Each structure stands twice: as structure tokens, then as C-alpha cells.
Structure 1
């Protein structure tokens, strides 16, 4: 079966102009699930993971993305599938070919998850011991490429070497580059992280490159999933992504953070896992997987010339952006996550600064994971029907409440050692906070699935998800900068029996503390900028929610589906 026929089943679109009126009627009548037609050439552009587009009320087939604030959510939620017809098809025994294909997809997604877990998870915690928050803001730019895949996904989807294969033409070189970068870094990473002050730009560039190459590989792997799996098992593509990305991400974040801790290693009598050894292992693993790919045959695809027209795809994206309702939604996404940014970007770092051990933090994240999966299924139930944005709006208030409670937890954080009761409280708090975020994520993803034009569904969904992800990425740099900007620290000296206080630019990082200690002084933080930034974010979150987000979301949700169509909107 050709790629076009497979995509007909995946996105259920029609390209006949004469059918447009009847298509809209069927959408309004909730009968689009029974319709099958031909797809637009724009549907070759996708964002991870792929979502079957069955109709207005099939909103439980939700597309999940891995981006900044949501990286833990989308790594753990998976796909919520309640289509009875598809469930019936999936009861048939899976072929050996499909089982091998699923194994390959899981491994390819695993390779992507490893650098993401390092860049977005464990490395910022390791650097925090040596850098100020302003310096950490520079490293936070490494997460941007995964939020901006839209801008080069048409190129990856359209340009390739036929002798190698449409997807392998990108996956093989990307994996070789990822493996080479990690292997090269393995000879210097431990030293760079232990003394990052003079190497912050080198570290930022290296991990930004890793995230960029992982994002590029992700575009190709997502497309290959459509042809690797048979038609009746296409729904397992997102399952493979969830398993692979989750395993890689949490291995590099939770597991590595614990095994890298000297206290954890001494407690359990095991050798400490260094960053050098970890990167060297995964660099060699990338080479091994790449060698395996040379023995995997990629089926040839029947491609229309229009499907390979990169310029046409970019023009379609521009046409979508010119719709006034889409513009309102993009603005909504761009500001919607500002209220949570201090909590998402700084709170855990502050807890570690206050005495939370990295191994305890790893336990909190690890215990959070299974509840994320359950929370995703429950959130999917809340997001069914024609008002998918309702749970998204309702979850704003508890998320803002958890931002306030997290700030208070940091303020009243107990002195070490931490009791088991307080650790259990942090676990419960983290689970409830993650559940609220999961409800929001699934709700807005369901809304995207409802309004996306099936004629250009892949491009439409990619655009909306890009701005949704970017809304959780862009504020992080300014939040981290703001913590240092509003902080007031002093270096208290004792000279000739008199206390002398010298105002310092920052007395939190290793550099600031060392400078103060070199003068036989002690760092004293008179004003912690975290609380000011958290208050600003919380205030902006409440104001934008009441005066813009709620009225705008309700207005957009009430619009008929045809208003979101490029062909029919004025």
C-alpha cells in the first residue's frame, strides 16, 4: 500500500474542492469518522508524535509534543485511543515485521531521548552548583531547537537521496553526528561541568547542537513510522515514541542524576557514574544503531511531485498564519504559560540550593512518572466532546495555585536532613501539580485536533504545537536572568574585630562564593530574586487569565469549524 493510501487512514482528509461543503456538513454532524478520501500534499509535514485525525469528536487521539515545560508531560502521557473500530483492528495478531518495526522505532526514539534528558534535565542541575541563574539562562537556550522544528521540517520531509531512502537519508547522518558529538564530549565533559564558568558558551553550543540534531532526526523518524508499520497497527507509532523517549529522557535525567551522586553511590556501594562514561556509552550506542540501520530496508514511497514542493509547504504555513482566529490562538499560546515559568524553571533548582539532594529529586521525578500516565488517560476523558478548552481553562487556577504553594515551600524549606514525611509531601505535591499540567496539555491538544484543517492537517498541527511549545520556552531565559537581577547579596567580612559588609553582584554561584571566601568572608543573601520573579509571573498569569485568556479562549471555542479553514475563512 502506498504512503498516500496510508495517510488517508491516518488523517482522513479530502482534496476534492466539490466535497468541501459536504465535508463541513459531515464534520458538524460528527460523522467524519466514516469518511475517507485523498490527502493534501501538505500532510507530509508532521510534528512528533503523529495523531490519527478521525473527526471532530475523536479528540482522545491526542498528539503529544516534547518541549520545555511539557517535556515531562509528553514523555509520560502517551496516546489516548478510544476508537472502537481501531481497537477491534488491533485485536488481530501482530505480524513479525511489525514487531521488528516497533522495536526499531523504540530504539530510534530512545536515541533522541538521551540528549534531551541531559540538556533539559540533569545538566542544568549539575551546572547550578557552579553558575548563577543569569549564566544558567545562557544554557537554557539549548532547549529552543526542539520548539522550532516547524521551520525546517518541510526540508527534512522533502529532500533526500533515493539510493539511501527518504527517511534514512536524514536518520543515519543525524545519528552519526549525535554519536560523534557525545563521544567527543566524553573526554572533556566532566571537567567542563565541574568548571563551567569559562566554558559556558562551549557547553551551551554543544548541547544546543545535540538538541538540534535530535529534533531533526525526530522529524524523519516520525515520517518513517507511517510506512514502517502496517495500516492496522499505525496507532502503535505513538506508543513507540512514548516508550523510547520516556526511557531515554528519564535515563538521562532521573537515573543518571541519582547514579552521578557521590552520596547515592556510597549509600548503595556502587561506583559513581561520571558524565564522561555516560556520554561515551551512548556515543558508541549511536554508532551501533546506525550500523543496524544499514541492514534495515526502507520501502520506497509513491510520492507526488507536489508533496516534495518545499516552497508550497511554507506558503501554506503563511496562509494559515494570516487567519485572524489563528493569530488570536497563537498569541494565546505565546502568553499562556508565563504565570508558571518561575515555578517550572527555578523552583526545583531553589530546592536543591536549600538542601534537597539530587538523588531525592530523582526519586520525586521517578515516582511522578506512573501517575503522569494515569493522569493522561483521565485528562483525555475530560477533554472529549465539543468543549475541549474547558478543562484547559479550569486547570489554570490549580496550576497558578501550585505556583504559589511551590514558592511558599521554597521559602519555608526545612533545614537538612529532610524527613521522610516532608519528602512524601513533596511527592504528592509534584503529582498533583503534574496532573493539572497534564489536563491542560491534553485539553489544548484535543482542541488542536478539532480545529485543524484535514486538508493540511500535518502542517496545521505542527504550526499550532510549535507556538504552544514556544510559549513555555521563551520566558525561561528572562526568568533566570530576573532571579539574579532582583537578588541582593552581600559578602560579610570580619576585619580587626569589626564586621564589614560589601555588596556583591551575586553571591550564589561558585564564582561569587569563592571570591567572597578569598577575602575571608561569608556570602549572605539579603534579598532573593526568586520570590520577586515568582510574584511577577503569578501576577501576570492571573491578569492575563482573567482579562485575555478566558474571554479569548471562550470566543475561539465557540467559533464554527469552518472559520479555521484556509479555504473558507475570509
Structure 2
């Protein structure tokens, strides 16, 4: 039994609403494997161009003593376009060329532009990020920020395309494609950018005869990625066909203004507001164990940059495998139950990492070099494996919920709203955590207690006076305590809310639908 609802105040077509809570459709990838491949490929490219650079470049910057945590906080803002993409998502949904395809109209030019930016990056990266001397952080920030805007636009497109590219009973696997693809791209980008360009690493592990430089240069990498983006975009433009969404029974055409009003319509539902607040604050409690922050703290404590990045890159294999193994559970009808079960363990693991970082700083220096024993690396790898497994489980659970409740007619805008809220919590907490370290850290000069060593100039003054700057209070531990307490409070405040959210049927989240809902098996009176 179905019914039709129409909002007389808007020029929208009648909508057929079916409550799928009792649907017998189960995922079956037969006939959808080629679409899975395309989605994973597109998400991989997204990971290379977007978050991969935000992991690799900060690691290269951290070994430069002229770079402060405030500089790192500034550069971490290159990921913020993912927080802001809701501002132009309605444009992406409303403007397109039908002959090209609703999603390909944006995907192809965006990826060509990314390729062009990488060509420009290849010509300037050695000047902006020299082996010695102060890097030009602002120029890198401006270009990579623009690339992030393009990647965020691609994210809007691919998330929306996934809702129609896959069969309806396979849409739950879109979150797995996202996780596997993006994480693969981040691993490729960060690993090649930091490790395979390192002379020390390549001479120690990859060469029989020592040579100058890494096996690849940063300039070559960006040029290669540029060619890759242009080539794959061309192949998709030619060979990948897009479904004509006008043929669907519930197809509704909205103009630009209506698409922006659509965001307001979505936000009118009380459940949206509660879920939005939860999503905006969900990652703050885990900021102490944020991967980008941990990379900086480990390098700062003396751990070799190459060793850190090899470990971090290997963790992406864990992140890729985890959603595949757990897809049976995270793609079920109660993804938020999985999320809530894992959350306490993430909080505990944040505490574990804080303690581990503290003991890392206690290793003694021998001839200006710290030799970390094998058991230290074994413990570090174990901690990262558990931390990343917990992280990716909660991430896939969230994205499974997003795919389940998003109205496919307005996939780009609806999915972007969810992703914006989720990304904002993740990226803003990273930026805030890195920025607060310098503010909450208190140092003093051994030769003059009036010099607090709070800036590079004051540190140089201390050294010129024959003193050394010593840390009295490390801001990392102060902020970690605050983040962990926040996380505990968040869990008890939003636990029941998230359980109630996942219990609502898909029709509850349909735009412009209020009361006309029916069950397939309901016998009307």
C-alpha cells in the first residue's frame, strides 16, 4: 500500500512514499561490481588530491625547526573546504548539462582543474618546500586550499552519484567504497610524498648503492598525479554512462533557489537539529588521539619522520581492511548501535595515547640522536592498529546511516549536509587541537627566567644568551584532559538520541513529507 503526498505551497511533484523498514531487499553485488570499481577509483583520486596532502606535507614541515604549531594549525585549514561545501552543494545539484550527465557535468571539469593545479604545483614545490630554510607555507596553503575546494566539489558529486549508480539494495556499500577508496588515496599520497622522496629512507631500505635524493622527487609526483587525473577523467567521460534520473517516477527538478531552500526544508525536521548537534561535536572527545596531531608530537619527540610515516601509511591498510570485514555489521539496520559500542573504547584509547606520548619524551638522547628500541615500535604499531580500527568503524557506521536516510532525489545536497557536519567536527577539532598546543604550553629560558620562549625570536634570544628553552607545561596534556572529559560528557548526552535517530524509518527523512507514511504490509482501515 502506498500513498502520495504533495505540499501545496511548493511546486514539487507528488511523492510516492514507501516505508522500507520491513523491506526484504538484501544487498547483492552481482551486476554492480563494475560500479563498485568506478566508485573506489574516484574516491581513491579524492584521497590522493585531498586529505593525502594534508597528512604528508605537515610531516615534511615538522622536521623544519622554523615551523611552529601555529604554522601547522594554519596549514591544517586546507581541509576546511570540506566543512564549507554545503554552501555550493545546491549549485552542484541544480546546474548541469543533461547530455553530459548530471554528475559528470561537474566531475570531469573539476578533475581536469585538479590536474592543472598539480602541474603548477610540480613546477613550484621545490621552491615552496625546500630541504633547508623556511618553507613558504602561505603559497602552499593558497594553492592546496583551492585544490581542496575542487576535491570537496568532487566529493559532493561522487557521494550523490553513488546513490543512483548502485542498485538500491546495494547503496549501503557506498560508505565502504568511500572508506576503501579515500583511505587508499591518502596512503598512496602521504607515503610517496614523505617516504619515497626521502634520501635517508631510500638509501637505507630501497637502494644497494647510496645516491642523492629519493627514488622520486616531489615535483615528479605532482606531475604524475596531474597526468593520472586528466587521463582517468577522460576515460570516465567517454566510457562511463550515467543514468537519466528524469526517467524515475519520483524525479523532481529544482532550480538553484529551490535547491538552497531545500537545505532549509531539510533543517526544519527536529530530528535533523538534534543529529546535527551530535555530529558537529562528535570528534572533539577524540582529538587527543587525532592522527595528524600524533604525527607532529611523535616527530617533535625525536622519532624519525620516515619511521613515523611508514607506520602511519601501513595503518591505512588496516583502515581499508576494517570496513570490508565489518561491513556485515555496519551495513545493518542499526549502525549507530555499533557506533555507540565503539565510542567508549575510543575514549580509553585516547588516554592510552596520551600516556604513550608522555613516555616517548622520556627516552634519552645519545650523541644528539634518540635510539628507540624495537619493543617501542611494536607497542606504537599495536596502539595505532587498535586506534585506526576503532576510528574507521565509527566512520563507516556514520556514513551508513547517512546513505540510509538521505533522500535520493536530492542526493547531492542531502549527503553533503551530513558530510559537512561530520567533516567539520573532524577537521575543526584537529585545527583547534594543534593551535592550542602553543597557547597552552609554557616554557622558560634557563639563563633568563624573564624570557618565556613563546616565539622563535624569544627562543633565539635565549640561545644567544647561552641558555636553553625548557618546557614547564606541555599544552598537549592540558588540552587532552579537556578533550577526554568532553568526550565522556558527549557520550552520555547523545547516547539515547542516536539510538532514537536510527529507529526512524526512511520516510521520516523525506523532504516535504510530514505525516503521510505507509507500511508495505499495513492493512488500512
Confirm or deny a common fold (TM above 0.5). Answer: yes
TM-score by length of 2: 0.80
Query: How many Å apart are 1:242 and its aligned residue?
Result: 5.6
What does residue 541 of structure 1 align with?
A: 487
The alpha-carbon distance between structure 1 residues 388 and 215, as it changes in their structure 2 partners (threshold 3 A), is closer
What does residue 111 of structure 1 align with?
A: 45
1:469 aligns to 2:403 (yes or no): no
1:17 aligns to 2:5 (yes or no): yes
Query: How many Å apart are 1:117 and its aligned residue?
Result: 4.2
Distance 2:239 2:148 in 1: 25
1:282 aligns to 2:225 (yes or no): yes
Distance 2:167 2:301 in 1: 52
Picking from 325, 329, 344, the partner of 2:271 is 325
SS of 2:195's partner is helix
Query: How many Å apart are 1:512 and its aligned residue?
Result: 6.4
Distance 1:377 1:293 in 2: 25
The alpha-carbon distance between structure 1 residues 107 and 512, as it changes in their structure 2 partners (threshold 3 A), is farther
Residues 145 and 215 in structure 1, CA contact (< 8 A), matched pair in contact too = yes
Distance 2:38 2:449 in 1: 61
Distance 2:89 2:478 in 1: 39
Q: Deviations over 1:119-163 (max 9, x none)?
A: 321111122233211221111111011243333223223323456
Residues 261 and 358 in structure 1, CA contact (< 8 A), matched pair in contact too = no
Residues 106 and 154 in structure 2, CA contact (< 8 A), matched pair in contact too = yes
Structure 2: which 5+ residue stretches go unaligned?
7-13, 365-369, 517-525
Query: How many Å apart are 1:322 and its aligned residue?
Result: 1.4
What does residue 431 of structure 1 align with?
A: 385
Residues 276 and 421 in structure 2, CA contact (< 8 A), matched pair in contact too = yes
The alpha-carbon distance between structure 1 residues 225 and 444, as it changes in their structure 2 partners (threshold 3 A), is closer
What does residue 521 of structure 2 align with?
A: none
What does residue 69 of structure 2 align with?
A: 133
Query: How many Å apart are 1:174 and its aligned residue?
Result: 2.0
Distance 2:136 2:238 in 1: 40
Residues 157 and 412 in structure 2, CA contact (< 8 A), matched pair in contact too = no
TM-score by length of 1: 0.74
1:250 aligns to 2:187 (yes or no): yes
Distance 2:104 2:397 in 1: 34
Distance 2:459 2:371 in 1: 23
1:369 aligns to 2:316 (yes or no): yes
Residues 288 and 480 in structure 2, CA contact (< 8 A), matched pair in contact too = yes
1:31 aligns to 2:22 (yes or no): yes
The alpha-carbon distance between structure 1 residues 163 and 441, as it changes in their structure 2 partners (threshold 3 A), is closer
Q: Deviations over 1:427-464 (max 9, x none)?
A: 11111111222332233334444544566566444322
Residues 119 and 211 in structure 1, CA contact (< 8 A), matched pair in contact too = no
- Matched residue count: 488
Distance 1:370 1:542 in 2: 29
The alpha-carbon distance between structure 1 residues 277 and 373, as it changes in their structure 2 partners (threshold 3 A), is closer
What does residue 77 of structure 1 align with?
A: none
The alpha-carbon distance between structure 1 residues 560 and 140, as it changes in their structure 2 partners (threshold 3 A), is same
Distance 2:194 2:145 in 1: 20
Distance 2:484 2:332 in 1: 31
What does residue 338 of structure 1 align with?
A: 284
Question: What pairs up with 1:132-211 in 2 under 5 angstroms?
Answer: 132-161=68-97, 166-194=102-130, 199-211=136-148
The alpha-carbon distance between structure 1 residues 515 and 381, as it changes in their structure 2 partners (threshold 3 A), is farther
Distance 2:507 2:294 in 1: 42
What does residue 376 of structure 2 align with?
A: 422
Q: Which moved more, 1:220-229 or 1:204-213?
A: 220-229
Residues 293 and 434 in structure 2, CA contact (< 8 A), matched pair in contact too = yes
The alpha-carbon distance between structure 1 residues 561 and 229, as it changes in their structure 2 partners (threshold 3 A), is closer
Residues 168 and 298 in structure 1, CA contact (< 8 A), matched pair in contact too = no
Residues 117 and 251 in structure 1, CA contact (< 8 A), matched pair in contact too = no
1:406 aligns to 2:353 (yes or no): yes
Residues 18 and 507 in structure 2, CA contact (< 8 A), matched pair in contact too = no
The alpha-carbon distance between structure 1 residues 518 and 171, as it changes in their structure 2 partners (threshold 3 A), is farther
